[in-house]
Amino acid sequence: MTRPFREWVDTDGLSAEEVARLERVHELLLEVGPPAELPPRLAQPPAPAGARVIPFPARHRGVVALVAAAAVAAAAFGGGYAAGTSHGMHVTQVVALQGAPAQLASLRVGSSDAAGNTPMELTVKGLPMREHGYYELFVIEKGKPSYPCTGFRMTGSQTTVRFTVPYELRPGTQLAVTFVQRGKVKWPGRIVMRSV
């Protein structure tokens, strides 16, 4: 007998749509069932020439196989869930941005609400922390920053900013991160990253 889905997964804070999607995945995992038995000829990998093989006790092989299968199922389930959600936001697209080597950003875009507000989450890595300046994320039109999405400062090697914009971000929209320094770099700032 299997335990009910809600005993396995904490659904607090999830929308009805997210819970239904997770329950479908749970049912599919139950349908598939446990992994097939490993054929005896594959129980031991071939040893390299001249290597000494230390046999693993047969009574432990089943436990190891079960733990490995559970780990793979949990990773696939958790990875799929994480890819589709971000802090309760249903992610509809992900936009990658890149600057100089080791300067990367990922913008996760959520579903717009009925009023047209779109939640977003920007994770930026590798930009330097600047005491007298800040960064802005812009939508690019005609090759130039046109309207801002959000501003932020780096807090270490990685920063994540959650925000909402009053419009829908269409697939293929070009984005840029700019650096603005008061008194030295005029707004909208110097582009340091672009969508790829």
Same-domain pairing of 127 and 64: no
Q: What is the pLDDT of residues 43-91, one digit of tens each?
A: 666 666 665 655 555 555 555 555 444 444 444 444 444 444 455 788 9
Is the distance from CB of 55 to CB of 63 less than 8 angstroms? no
The better pLDDT of the pair 82, 17 is held by: 17
Same-domain pairing of 78 and 143: no
Q: How many domains does the chain have?
A: 2
120 pairs with which residues across the strands?
109, 163
pTM: 0.55
Please name the amino acid found at residue 122. Answer: L
Q: In 3D, which of 103, 108, 111 has the Cα closest to residue 149? A: 108
Mean pLDDT of the 4-10 span? 71
pLDDT at 24 over 80: no
What is the pLDDT, as a whole number, of residue 72?
Answer: 41
Q: What is the CATH classification number for the domain harbouring 136?
A: 2.60.40
How many residues are given for the chain? Answer: 196
Same-domain pairing of 109 and 14: no
Mean pLDDT of the 87-106 span? 88
Residue 36 tokens read as 């097939």
Sequence-distant (6+) residues with CB within 8 A of 69 are: 34, 35
Domain enclosing residue 82, as ranges:
5-39+59-86
Same-domain pairing of 99 and 176: yes
Residue 45: inside a domain:
no
Same-domain pairing of 76 and 131: no
pLDDT at 106 over 70: yes
Distance, CA of 135 to CA of 190 (rounded, Å): 9
pLDDT-derived band at 33, boundaries 50, 70, 90? low
Is the distance from CB of 58 to CB of 67 less than 8 angstroms? no
Same-domain pairing of 63 and 102: no
Mean pLDDT of the 17-40 span? 73
Same-domain pairing of 118 and 143: yes
Same-domain pairing of 98 and 174: yes
Is the distance from CB of 180 to CB of 189 less than 8 angstroms? yes
Same-domain pairing of 67 and 138: no
Element (H, E) at 133: strand 133-141
What is the pLDDT, as a whole number, of residue 31?
Answer: 65
Mean pLDDT of the 164-187 span? 87
Same-domain pairing of 128 and 164: yes
Mean pLDDT of the 151-169 span? 92
Q: What is the pLDDT of residues 140-156, one digit of tens each?
A: 988 888 889 999 999 88
Is the distance from CB of 135 to CB of 152 less than 8 angstroms? yes
